[in-house]
Amino acid sequence: MSHRRRSSLFAWLAVLALLVSACVAPPPPSSTAAPAAASGGPMQSIGEGEGALSIVAWAGYIERGETDPGYDWVTDYEAATGCAVSVKTAATSDEMVALMNEGGFDLVTASGDASLRLISGGTVQEINTALIPSWSSVDERLQNAPWHTVDGKHYGVPYQWGSNVLMYNTEAFAEAPTSWNVVFEEMTLADGQSNKGRVQAFDGPIHIADAALYLKHNKPELGIEDPYALTRDQFNAALDLLRVQRTLVGRYWHDAFVQMDDFQNEGVVASGSWPFQVNLLQAGGAPIASVIPVEGATGWADSTMLHTDAPHPNCAYKWLEHSINPKLQGDLAAWFGSVPSALAACTGNALLGDGGCETNGLGNFEKISFWRTPVPDCGDGKLECVPYHEWVTNYIAVIGGR
């Protein structure tokens, strides 16, 4: 096993250890029913701030100008509320779930492959949208999205969304690739070299959905309709494709900055990625572009969720309102390469520019299969799908060479 694959495997084993050690860690949800523990009702009023706020977040999501002074949406919140913000960065959705299960945090910027697990386990509480004056400004397509809304109850405030694009080196491709096959099948590229050892894949079990989406288009006989609701045969076909991909992959990535370095210095030429990496590399003059191939793409729609036992609930609610103001939404979209949940941010923002939302994929919403926690219930009452815990164990086996 190579050093890179071994490091990736050990990283996932560490996440599993966190999941096991968290004494309140719930099993993956068997359905999307709201838990009894979360049925007591949301907060009814907001009081004085407690002076602090602790957030589990993706890298780049909570900026206070330390990386670039032009990007700061924490300082004004702290000044207005007296709530000092601390951030714990998580590299994967599983790490987010483990951290929230351990407790001590107020909020988490959860993607759809984590949110239902947090809801079903009673780890996060229902949100009272009446306490969020700007709720009506949220994109209507996101307000009742199934990854944070259960039984008509909201458990999160939409934050940002985006697609997992195919990032590629324009010097290795004479034309933009049209299919994800460039990262799933061995081939000779336009620069005359094989893609073997020059492609990457996402270091997370949810990447199985990328394989399933590819098979949905290229092997229709498998009958895949939803890449997150896979029967045993469909799941096994996706694993077989990932085992082929493993022979091509130089690194399974989860750190955006490491991936950017690999594209610049380690000869990587193609990978699933985020607009964040694409934008930063292009800004630095790297020969990089991105595309959503013919098969479509998976993507993420992140919601800010409130821990059931949040130590600073008043500061948390103040942040939930702050998080969807147009200035923050536009600045964050410019920084991360994402799409705002508040569409008013798409115009009049100096950092994003009036064309920034389109550049970041606003028009791709219908092309995206948004991350969602796989559950055993396929939804038709007849078939049983492979649950998420099997996605975890099998993906670890795949990247470990088994």
The tens digit of pLDDT for each residue in 157-212 reads 999 999 999 999 999 998 999 999 999 999 999 999 999 999 999 999 999 999 99
Give the dihedral of Cα atoms 204, 206, 209, 211; nearest 10 deg: 10
Residue among 2, 180, 14, 200 at smallest CA distance from 91: 14
How many angstroms separate the CA atoms of 235 and 244, rounded? 15
Q: Helix axis angle, 326-336 relative to 275-283, nearest 10°?
A: 70
- Please give the model's pTM, rounded to 2 decimal places: 0.83
pLDDT in tens, 4-50: 333 343 344 344 333 333 333 344 454 444 444 344 689 999 999 99
Domains 3-160+301-354 and 163-298+375-399 share a fold: yes
Q: What is the mean pLDDT of residues 69-77?
A: 97
pLDDT > 60? residue 130: yes
Confidence of residue 381 (pLDDT cuts 50, 70, 90): low
How many angstroms separate the CA atoms of 142 and 162, rounded? 12
pLDDT > 80? residue 383: no
Confidence of residue 401 (pLDDT cuts 50, 70, 90): confident
Domain boundaries, the chain: 3-160+301-354, 163-298+375-399
Amino acid at 265: N
Residue among 277, 245, 223 at smallest CA distance from 58: 277
How many angstroms separate the CA atoms of 295 and 355, rounded? 25
Q: For the chain, give the number of residues.
A: 402
CATH fourth-level superfamily of 3-160+301-354: Periplasmic binding protein-like II (3.40.190.10)
CATH 3.30.470.10, applies to 163-298+375-399: no
